[in-house]
Amino acid sequence: MSSAEYQKAWREKNKEKMAAFRKKWRDKNKKRLATYNQEWAKRNRERLLEYYRKYRKEHPELAARWRENNRDRIRRYQRNHYASVKRWRIRNREKLHAHTAVKRAIRRGEIVRPKACVKCGKVGKVDAHHRNYKKPLEVLWVCRACHWKEHKRESN
């Protein structure tokens, strides 16, 4: 058997092994490549921004034209942004209000803070968790761990 023939036979025999090896190499390097790109973007973020800023300054007519052509997009963006800010404010106002209401109710003796988590029964400090800030006095008294889990569950 010539050496070329031998190699061919070997490759034939180890086809799957070779394919697996190549796949592994690709996967490994995909990760490395992605990391590299991320690093590069991070390192060059300022430089890129600077470049864009400079470019816009040097070509004000292009920026103006872009705005002209993308009026709807800009308006949509502004509207969405405004709506999300508004939502955030409302949510946080409700949140603040709910916490104040709980504190006040505790002071008045209308609500008693239990000594243990209602979810897992762990004795210790418990937080008041609101499932709905619109119902400030409906609270779930939970330990830190359960509280965290509750938020995670609700955000899904």
Q: Which is nearer to Zn ion, 17 or 144 (CB)?
A: 144
Q: 116 — phi, psi (to 5°)? A: -140, 155
- Choosing from 49, 106, 120, 137, the residue that interacts with Zn ion (CB under 5 A) is 120
Number of residues that bind Zn ion (CB under 5 A): 7
Backbone phi and psi for residue 137, each to the nearest 5 degrees, phi listed first: -95, 0
Binding test (CB under 5 A) with Zn ion, winner from 101, 117, 139, 141: 117
Which DSSP letter does residue 51 get?
A: H
Is there a contact between 127 and 141 (Cβ–Cβ < 8 Å)? yes
Scan residues 121-150 and list those touching Zn ion (CB under 5 A). Answer: 122, 129, 143, 146
Asked whether position 102 contacts Zn ion by CB under 5 A, the answer is no
Rule CB under 5 A: which of 10-69 touch Zn ion?
none
Closer of 101 and 143 to Zn ion (Cβ): 143
Residue 119 binding Zn ion, by CB under 5 A: yes
Cβ of residue 108: shortest distance to Zn ion, in angstroms? 22
To Zn ion, the closest distance from the beta carbon of 123 in angstroms equals: 10
Contact flag: residue 99 with Zn ion (CB under 5 A)? no
76 vs 116: CA distance, rounded Å: 48
CB 97 within 8 A of CB 133: yes
* Beta partners for residue 140, in sequence order: 129
Can you read off the two tokens belonging to residue 2?
């010539």
d(CA 94, CA 136): 8
Q: Where do contacts with Zn ion occur on this chain (CB under 5 A)?
A: 117, 119-120, 122, 129, 143, 146
